Amino acid sequence: MAATTAFPNTPKASNHDNNTLSKVVKAKDTSFTVYYFDLHTHGATPRAILAYMDANWKLYSPVDWTNPSSPEKSEAIYGTLPLMYEHDPKTGATLEIAEAMNIELYLAQKFNLLGDNDAEAIQIRAAYSNSRALMHRQEDTYFARKPHQAVERERFINEFLKQWIRTHEAVLAKNGSNGHYVGNRTSLADIKTAVAIEQLLNELYRFQGSDYADLINPTATPNLWKVRENVLSKDSYRQWRASEDFARLKAVTQTLFDAEREQL
pLDDT 10s digits, 139-183:
888 787 778 888 888 899 999 999 999 999 999 999 999 999 999
Query: How much is the pLDDT for 258?
Result: 83
| CA separation, residue 138 to residues 51, 141, 196, 210 (Å) | 24, 5, 10, 9
Query: How much is the pLDDT for 4?
Result: 34
Percent of the chain residues past pLDDT 90, beyond the cut: 76
Domain range annotation of the chain: 18-110, 118-233
Pick the closest to residue 180 from 108, 113, 100, 106 (CA basis).
Answer: 113
Higher pLDDT, 147 or 235: 235
Distance (Å, whole) CA 81 – CA 129 = 20
Which alpha helices (H) appear in 54-99, and where do they start and end? 71-75
Query: How much is the pLDDT for 208?
Result: 61
The sign of the dihedral angle between the CA atoms of 172, 174, 176, 181 is negative
Distance (Å, whole) CA 7 – CA 10 = 6
Q: What is the mean pLDDT of residues 89-116?
A: 98
Q: What is the mean pLDDT of residues 234-252?
A: 96
The C-alpha R_g of the chain, in whole angstroms, comes to 19
Query: How much is the pLDDT for 5?
Result: 37
- For 118-233, CATH number? 1.20.1050.10
Span 25-63, pLDDT tens digits: 999 999 999 999 999 999 999 999 999 999 999 999 999
Point out the least confidently predicted range of 69-73, 135-139, 197-201: 69-73
Question: In the CATH scheme, what is the homologous superfamily, with its name and number, of domain 18-110?
Answer: Glutaredoxin (3.40.30.10)
Query: How much is the pLDDT for 140?
Result: 85
Query: How much is the pLDDT for 8?
Result: 63
| CA separation, residue 66 to residues 28, 37, 69, 182, 258 (Å) | 36, 11, 9, 42, 19
